[in-house]
Amino acid sequence: MIDYTTHSRFTDPGPMTGWLSEWLDGVGPDVAELRRAASGLVFHYWGNGDITSHGFPAARLAEVDLRYAADMFARLHSLNPAPLGEERAPTERIVGCCRDFTLLFVSMARHVGVPARSRVGFAGYLAPGWYLDHVVAEVWDGERWRLVEPQLTASGVDVLDVPRDRFLVGADAWLACRSGALDADRFVVSPEWTIPGTRGLTQVRHDLVQDLASLNKHEMILWDLWGGLSDAAELSSEEVAAADELAAALREPGVDVRAVFDTDAHRVTPVIRSLDQATRSPVEVVLR
């Protein structure tokens, strides 16, 4: 069994001394309070339009590529050392995305012993008629895994118990599209984006593999590539067949997600590829 109360290298907030200890000990252990705090720590890098129109220097877009919770907390402290639970001005938050709201929530939850993990998939409550690429958290409440929405406060769903038909984790999204139950063309990063590879089965397969990594405590940046992932606009027939097998395996009761992950196609390698959001150029990243 994977212990989701302990940190990964990505959620580890750093040495528990000084201000960091005071910060993390001052939030929680109530899941609702942890979620509320996390929702005020990040400013979405495109969800509110150009960040410069909200007082951010353009150079701060680089914060969306922050990978580790330790770096995020350090940046937040440099922007405003007030307690984590206090309201922050937009420019006192880090520039990031749904993955970062969730990573910080999971980090704070694990700090207080709450079993928590990130889940990558698609939200059906962000834009009518669409399923948008999204990351939420999952917490174990003693009886079941419950989806928690760390980013949004008014989303039309119960943010502390998001229904499974409103957020589809990677395997559920893939199987729904492949069966014809849902239209794969409605699964996108954004309805307005026409970037190749960010729509349809290609994006769904990407999130399927990202979700497997999250289940194995590799909370990756959403534009990371490794193993069998690529930035190709279309999937080959072999890639589709492999994704069918992966999704079916993840739906099996009692599946050992570590065994599914530990393959050349899926395990996260020490060196990965990513897309630098400030320069829109591919970069090689050596993981800590």
Which portions of the chain are predicted below pLDDT 50? none
Tell whether 57 is covered by a domain: yes
Tell whether 13 is covered by a domain: no
116 and 137 Cβ atoms separated by less than 8 Å = yes
Tell whether 275 is covered by a domain: yes
Tell whether 151 is covered by a domain: yes
Distance, CA of 55 to CA of 288 (rounded, Å): 32
Q: What is the CA radius of gyration of the chain?
A: 18
Per-residue confidence (pLDDT) for residue 278, from 0 to 100: 79
Per-residue confidence (pLDDT) for residue 196, from 0 to 100: 82
Distance, CA of 113 to CA of 104 (rounded, Å): 14
Residue 133 contacts by C-beta under 8 Å, 6 or more apart in sequence? 122, 187, 188, 189, 198, 203, 207, 222
Tell whether 84 is covered by a domain: yes
Residue entry with tokens 């992932």: 229
Model-level pTM? 0.97
What is the tally of structural domains in the chain?
1
Residue 89 contacts by C-beta under 8 Å, 6 or more apart in sequence? 80
Range of 185's domain?
Answer: 18-286
Tell whether 3 is covered by a domain: no
Per-residue confidence (pLDDT) for residue 223, from 0 to 100: 96
Tell whether 12 is covered by a domain: no
Q: Buried (b) or exposed (e) across 250-269, using 16+ Cβ within 10 A? A: beeeeeebeebbeeeebbbe
Tell whether 236 is covered by a domain: yes
Per-residue confidence (pLDDT) for residue 277, from 0 to 100: 84
Per-residue confidence (pLDDT) for residue 138, from 0 to 100: 98
| Among 282, 217, 274, 247, residue whose Cα is nearest residue 66 | 274
